[in-house]
Structure 1
Amino acid sequence: MLLLLLLTSAFPLVPWAGAGRIIGGSEVKPHSWPYMAHLSIQNKSNHFTCGGFLIRSDAVLSAAHCVAGKKNVTVTVTLGAHNVEKREPSQQKLRVRHWVIHPKYSKDTSENDIMLLKLEPKAKQTNEVSYISMSSQNERVKPGTKCNVAGWGRTSITGSGSSVLMEVDLEVQSDEVCEDLFKDYLNESMICLGDKKLRKAAFQGDSGGPLVCNGKAHGIVSYGPQNSIFPEVFTRVSYFVPWIREELRKFALQDLPDPPSSD
C-alpha cells in the first residue's frame, strides 16, 4: 500500500472498481440496521451494487455516482436483508420507480454526490425494516465524534466478498485533513472521516451507505484516496436537507390521484 503522503488523486467509491468493502469491521447483529438498503444496479453489460438507506416508506438516499452517467440501468432495492445471498423472509425487494440525482452533481469533483430513489410499492415497516432520521439542516458533528458505517462486500483489499452486512466505526476528522489531500473538498457539503491507523474503512462498493452518528444519518459514503483508505469523504446530509425535502414533496404529489374528469 502506498504511503498517504505520496498520493495525489482521489476516486469515487465506484461499484465496479471492486466489490464493496468494509475493512476492519465486524458482522452486525442481524437487522440492527433496519434502514439499510442494498441496491442492485444492472444494465446489459454490468451488474454491480451500492448501499443506501430508507428515510421514508417510499424513499431511499444513496450516492449519485452509483448511477450517474450509466445508460439503460435498472435498480432494485432490497430492504430487511442481513445475508444478501439468501432469500430471507424479512427481505423486501422493491422496484425503483425513478431516481433523482442532484442537479449540480459533478463526476469530476464528486460535489453534490447525492441521489434520491422513489420506491414502488412503498416499503412495509416491520421489525426488520424501518427508516432512519436524518440530521437537521446545518447540523454538524464535531471532530473526534465516533460514527458508524455499514456495507456488504470484501473485508480486506484483496479478500473475498461478504454476504452478510458488516459495520465499522470511523472518527470524524477536522476538515483540514481532507482539504490538504483533496483539492475539491468542500467543508459545507462534505464530511472528513477515517481511521488514522489505517485499519478500518468503507471502500469501493460501499458507496451510498449511511454514516450514522448519534442515531442519525449524517453522511453518505462518497469517495476516498487512491491506493489508501485514509481519509475518506462523505456527503454531508444536513447541507442537502432543503433539496431532499423538496424532492420528497414531489414524490408525494406523484402519489395523488388524478383529478376527476370534467366531461
Structure 2
Amino acid sequence: MDFQLYIGLFPDEVQFDMSDVLNKNCGDSPYNDRFKPENGRFFENPWLVLFRHPEEQDPFCQGTIITNHHVLTTAICTETIEVNITIVVLGEYNRATDPDCSNSDECQEPRVTELLARRIIVNPKFLNDTYENDIALVTLSQRINYSNSIKPICLPLTPIIASWIHVPIAYNTLWTVEHSVPQQIKMKYIEHDTCKSQMQDMLLLHEEQICARYAIQSGSSLVGGSGSPLLVEHHDRAFQFGILSIGLPDAGFLDPFVYVNVSSHVKWIHDAIAHDLQQ
C-alpha cells in the first residue's frame, strides 16, 4: 500500500478505503458532542483495552483495538507482556462493577471479554533508552467479536491535519488511578520546539514524537495511562493520532506529555498487520 499525502483534511473516502485491514467499522460511538464530559459515558470509548497480569486486577498498561485481532500500544508496555499469560481486557467500562450498568439500569452486554496476548510485534526501530518509535501491536488469542462495548478506533491513514491549529480539541481517554470509569482529559498541543526545550533535561525529542499538556485544570492525572490514545473527532468518528508514551508522575498543568505520532507509523502498522494475518 502506498501511503501518500492527500489534499484536504480528513478525506473520508481515503481514510476508510485506503487499507484492506485498517479502519473497518471504526471510531463509532453513540455520542456526537463537540465537547466531551470528563467522565466517559456508557459505550463512549469501546476501543479502550487494559493489560493485566492474571494474578492482579489492576492493569499495568492500556491500548486500543484497531482490528478484530490486534491492539495498538507502546513498545515499552509490551516489555511487561507475557505471551499466552497476560490478560487483555476488552469491553470494560466501570472497573468497580460487574456487570457494567448505566444510571437507567441498562446493563452492558456482552460483559467484559478477557483474551490472552498471543503475539507481540514491536517496531524494529524502537529504542528503549530514547523512547524513539515506542509503538507495538499485540495479536490476541481469539478473533474479537465487536459489540456496542467493543469496537476499533480509526487511524489516520493519511496525515490527519494540515496544521495543529486545525485541532483545537483533543482528548486523552484512559482509566486513571483516581477513577473507575474512563476519563476524557482535554489536551492542548505543544509546539515541537517548545516541548523539546521543556524536555531537554529528560529526553531528546524526535520528529516522530508529539507533545500535549492539560488544556484545563483536571482532577485526573495521566499516571498509569501508558498506551492510551490521544484522539480527535471527525464526522462522528474517533481518530487516534497519538499514543501516550512518556509523562512525569508529578506533572503540573503546563508540563508536557510525549506521544507517539501515529501518522508517522501507519505504513508500519498496516504492513505488520497484513504480514501477521498471513501467519
Same fold (TM over 0.5): yes
2-structure distance, mates of 1:90, 1:145: 35
Q: What aligned pairs does 1:87-126 form with structure 2 within 5 A after superposition?
A: 87-88=98-99, 89-126=110-147
Preserved contact between residue 174 and residue 182 of structure 2 (Cα < 8 Å): yes
Q: Aligned match of 1:130 in 145, 151, 154?
A: 151
- The letter for the 1-side match of 2:182 is L
1-structure distance, mates of 2:160, 2:53: 31
Equivalent residue for 2:188? Answer: 171
- The letter for the 2-side match of 1:193 is A
2-structure distance, mates of 1:221, 1:252: 26
Query: As a proportion of its length, which structure holds more strand?
Result: 1
DSSP-derived class of the 1:95 partner: strand
DSSP-derived class of the 1:39 partner: strand
| 2:168 matches 1:145 | yes
Displacement after TM superposition at 1:196 (Å): 6.1
Equivalent residue for 1:194? Answer: 213
2-structure distance, mates of 1:169, 1:59: 26
| 2:258 matches 1:238 | no
1-structure distance, mates of 2:194, 2:39: 29
Q: Aligned match of 2:239 in 216, 241, 252?
A: 216
Equivalent residue for 2:205? Answer: 185
Which structure 1 residue ranges, 5 or more long, are not aligned?
1-24, 156-161, 255-263
TM-score under structure 2 normalisation? 0.71
Which protein, 1 or 2, shows the higher relative CO under an 8 Å CA cutoff with sep ≥ 6? 1
2-structure distance, mates of 1:179, 1:39: 30
Preserved contact between residue 195 and residue 201 of structure 1 (Cα < 8 Å): no
- The letter for the 2-side match of 1:53 is T
Q: Aligned match of 2:38 in 22, 26, 34?
A: 26
- The letter for the 2-side match of 1:147 is A
Preserved contact between residue 137 and residue 242 of structure 1 (Cα < 8 Å): no
Preserved contact between residue 211 and residue 258 of structure 2 (Cα < 8 Å): yes
- The letter for the 2-side match of 1:244 is I
Relative distance call for 1:71 and 1:146 in structure 2 (3 A) is: closer
Number of aligned pairs?
Answer: 221
Relative distance call for 1:201 and 1:237 in structure 2 (3 A) is: farther
| 2:57 matches 1:59 | no
Displacement after TM superposition at 1:64 (Å): 1.1
Q: Aligned match of 2:222 in 197, 203, 206?
A: 203
